[in-house]
Amino acid sequence: MSAALSVRELVVGYGGAPVLRGVSFDVDEGTVVALVGGNGAGKTTLLRTVSGLLTPSAGSVHLDGEDLARVGVEDRVRRGLAQVPEGRGVITELTVEENLRLGGLWRRDPADLRAALAEMYALFEPLERRRTTLGHQLSGGERQMLAIARALVARPRVLLLDEPSLGLAPLVVAQIMRVLRELCDRTGLTVLLAEQNVAGALSVADHGLVLALGEVVASRPAAELAGDEALRHAYLGF
């Protein structure tokens, strides 16, 4: 299995204070990799660097073998890298349908875009009933579904998800995780899932990475990580 996303020796800091200290890992095509760790571990910084919002002081990010160092955020999207940011990132002043259309900006064929929207409404049924509703009128769960659906409209090869379960009811989280897992199995989508909800993330992931103080301290199959009591106590707090 080839790596869809490769991160090598990534070093990122804010104002001289290092947040990521030489992070390296691969995400194989068609797999879900859970990136877990406590508050301040560097998960969000890592995703923002992979998507291009932050510039690393050292190291590299490769998408399907291509070095993204000189590729801007907007062009990374066109190459198949999508991110659902922390806090969902729904544009609350736009309707559900307008948010979804934004995800499909690069589909030149209107019929193709319509098909993608129909597919998302089928995947996330509550959104179809609320297609003309403004983002700020949606529930937390609906906003998360919309943010994920919007990213999927672009048909990305790699999807970065930052804390999708934050503030959501367990049932909604389970529904979202199930949809993601099905998508990966059916379409070959690759997912890097940053989560504080360790048990939930590892339950759908193929592989797990534990990030602590800006370093990868463990990289193992998800089931193995979930069963390692010593590691869970030391780094994950449960």
Partner 1 sequence: MDRFVFLLGTGLARGTLFALFALALVLIWRSTRIVNFAAGAMAIVGVYVGVAVTGLTGSYWLGLLATVLAGGLVGLVVERGLLRFASARSPLSGVILAIGLVIVLQSLLGIAFGQQHTPVRAPFDDRPVQVGGVPLLSPYDVFVVVVALGLMAALRLLFVRTTLGLQLRAAAFEPEVSRLLGVRVARMRTVGWVLAAAAASLAAMLAVPKELGLNPHAADMLFVYAFTVAVVGGLDSPGGALLGGLTVGVVMSLVTGYLGATLTPVAVLALLVVVLLVRPSGLFAAAEARRA
**DSSP states of 15-55 as a string?**
TTEEEEEEEEEEEETT-EEEEE--TTSSHHHHHHHHHTSS-
From 143, 150, 157, 207, residue interacting with partner 1 (rule: CB under 8 A): 150
Site string for partner 1, 177-216 (x = CB under 8 A): ----------------------------------------
Q: Is 156 in the site for partner 1 (CB under 8 A)?
A: no
Nearer to partner 1, 86 or 128 (CB): 86
Question: 21: exposed, middle or buried (C-beta count within 10 Å: 0-12, 13-18, 19+)?
Answer: middle
Q: Is 92 in the site for partner 1 (CB under 8 A)?
A: yes
| Residues sharing a CB contact under 8 Å with residue 57, sequence separation 6 or more, in sequence order | 11, 12, 13
Q: Is 93 in the site for partner 1 (CB under 8 A)?
A: yes
From 2, 69, 78, 112, residue interacting with partner 1 (rule: CB under 8 A): 78
Question: 11: exposed, middle or buried (C-beta count within 10 Å: 0-12, 13-18, 19+)?
Answer: middle
CB of 102 to partner 1, least distance (A): 5
Q: Cα 129 vs. chain centroid, distance in angstroms?
A: 25
Indicate the helix (H) or strand (E) that contains 127.
Answer: helix 125-129
* CA Rg value for the chain: 17
Nearer to partner 1, 154 or 236 (CB): 154
**Contacting range for partner 1; rule: CB under 8 A; set: 25-33, 37-45, 103-111, 118-126:** 103-111
Indicate the helix (H) or strand (E) that contains 114.
Answer: helix 110-123
From 136, 185, 188, 234, residue interacting with partner 1 (rule: CB under 8 A): 136
Site residues (CB under 8 A) for partner 1? 51, 53, 73-74, 77-78, 82-83, 85, 89, 91-94, 98, 101-103, 105-106, 134, 136, 150, 154
